[in-house]
Structure 1
Amino acid sequence: MWLFSLLLMSGIMSGCASNNAEERAEENNPANVSDPRDPFESVNREMWTFNWEYLDAYLIRPVTVGYVTVMPQFARTGLLNAANNLEEPANFANNLLQGDFDQGMDSLARFLINSTVGLLGTIDVASKVGIERQRESFGETLAVWGVETGPFLMLPGLGPSDPRSFTGRVADGYTYPNTVINGTYSIAAFAVSLLEARASLIDQEQQLENSFDQYNFVKNAYFQNLEFRVTDGEVGRQAVDTEQQQEDFAEFESLLDDEGEE
């Protein structure tokens, strides 16, 4: 199964918003091989070239463009809702394993409501009544338990990953109902999720193309997104708070300067 577009899209969208000056400097240095997160950089770069310049360019992107062109929006929404609904039992289990009982109950309620009233998940009734999706993976559960990511891996066909996340994705695949539903249906649902993820990435492609070193750009974005998800957004909120404090301090300095001039 091809996870590359999903991981790349989520990493880029969160990473673009939170790159700091130090990370930009690292991105602009393709010769940097001292990153402790990436001991296999030379091999990973070869895999990145294969994934992005060949697999995506000649297969994944054309298929995605065709899918978006042919499939009506209402049908796309329904298929994606159904695919997301299959993940709710894993969300339920992982929320409980992380000690988030309330969010776990939300995931269970979403699965029961959307699988019945929502016509096998094609209609997201749960969101309409205020029960939001609480997405959690087993990789994030391992992180909460103190397991480190391990080395960065650019897997052929699978894209950016790490041992902890890869193990988590495998474990999530063995949760109900994935273990009992028809294999063809499971593959179709998974393919829909990936196509929609790749479709979301199309608008972000220019940012990737404009980066000085695409490989480092994606790697940094991947780890930022990983930390954001493991902390349930706390990293992003802290960054926003820090930026707001800096703006407030700048306004305070400006006020002092004005008073001094008077």
Structure 2
Amino acid sequence: FTKLLLHHFFVLSVSCIILFPPLLHAAGGDDSTDFLSDDFYADTTDAVPETGDPIEPFNRAVFQLNDRAYTYVFNPIAKGYSAAVPFDIRHIIDNFFTNLEEPVVFINCLLQGRFSDAGSTLVRFLANSTIGVGGLVDFADREIGFEPVEATLGETFGVWGIGDGFYLVVPFFGPSTLRDFTGTVIDSLAMTPYYTYIDKWSVKTGIYAEKTTNDLSMHIGEYEDLKKLSFDPYVALRNSYFQYRKKIREHRVFLESE
């Protein structure tokens, strides 16, 4: 009975932790908005998001739930993982999972008509899967200058003319919009290789849990910094999410104009 109870607790834990990655992108990362700058918080409490927030009371309640889950569950797990696994190993793991998801990026680039990015993504996947030892090394970026490309089904829906819907904070998932969250679910469950080709649910969950724990371990402290520097963390995170999306779009337009 004890073994069965521990098994169910493990499944519940990893099922929760796999749902948290969007916070990493909204609150930090190499491509995210610099929320540590003074300009970012100049008018954070009065800023109006590009997409409406008509269910703000619900979103705030979920934000509080996610905040406590991060503080008391996800962050301690990530810190323990970070202490046990050297950074170089975690970077290799990150490369491996990034490579696994390149087919999803490739398909979305094609669906968006971004054929140059689709070609770059295909080169990345082939080079990193072979010379990069199954994606453990990002050979394409480091040696031949093919940087990672971002493309999600939520963005594809946008290109097709489907609106955002409204701002949505999803339990244990973080900031999103109705459109982007729908795209994320389809991307993850229907298109990601370790969900498509692995039948056993516990194995799928374990793989995704490892990926997300590894991701979180690479961004320890960023969410805490956002909270310390903001008068209203809910508004700051919402603004950071929309500024991150805007920055991605502007960067893409810049690359296409070159």
TM-score range, shorter chain: 0.7 to 0.9
Q: Following the alignment from structure 2 to structure 1, what is the Cα–Cα distance between the partners of residues 140 and 203?
A: 23
Give the corresponding residue for 1:220. 239
Taking structure 1 as reference, are residues 196 and 230 closer, same or farther at Cα in structure 2, changes over 3 Å only?
farther
TM-score (norm 1): 0.77
What amino acid is aligned across from residue 142 of structure 1 in structure 2? F
1:90-114, Cα deviation, whole Å (9 max, x unpaired): 1111111111112101111222222
Q: Report the Cα offset of residue 218 of structure 1.
A: 0.6
Residue 130 of structure 1, CA deviation: 1.8
Displacement of 1:148 = 1.4
Partner of 2:21, secondary structure, is helix
Distance in 1, matches of 2:203 and 2:136, equals 14
More moved, 176-185 vs 145-154:
176-185
Change (3 A) 1:176 1:62: closer
| Map of 2:40 onto structure 1 | 19
Counterpart residue number, 1:198: 216
Determine the structure 1 residue equivalent to 2:54: 39
AA at the equivalent of 1:19: F
Runs of at least 5 residues in structure 1 that lack an aligned partner in the other structure = 236-262
Pairing 1:77-88 to 2, within 5 Å after superposition:
77-88=91-102
The alignment's TM-score, normalised by the length of structure 2, stands at: 0.78
Q: In the alignment, which of 108, 115, 125 is matched to residue 111 of structure 1?
A: 125
Change (3 A) 1:7 1:176: closer
Q: State the match for 1:93 in structure 2.
A: 107
Any idea what SS the aligned residue of 1:19 has? helix
Quick check: 1:175 aligned with 2:195? Answer: no
Segment drifting more, 225-234 vs 89-98 = 225-234
* Matching residue's letter, 2:82: V
1:124 pairs with 2:138: yes
Aligned partner letter, 1:197: D
Task: Look up the equivalent residue of 1:172 and give its one-letter code.
Answer: D
Larger Rg: 1
Q: Which amino acid in 2 is paired with 1:221?
A: S
**SS of alignment partner, residue 201 of structure 1:** coil
Contact 1:3 1:159 in 2 (8 A): no
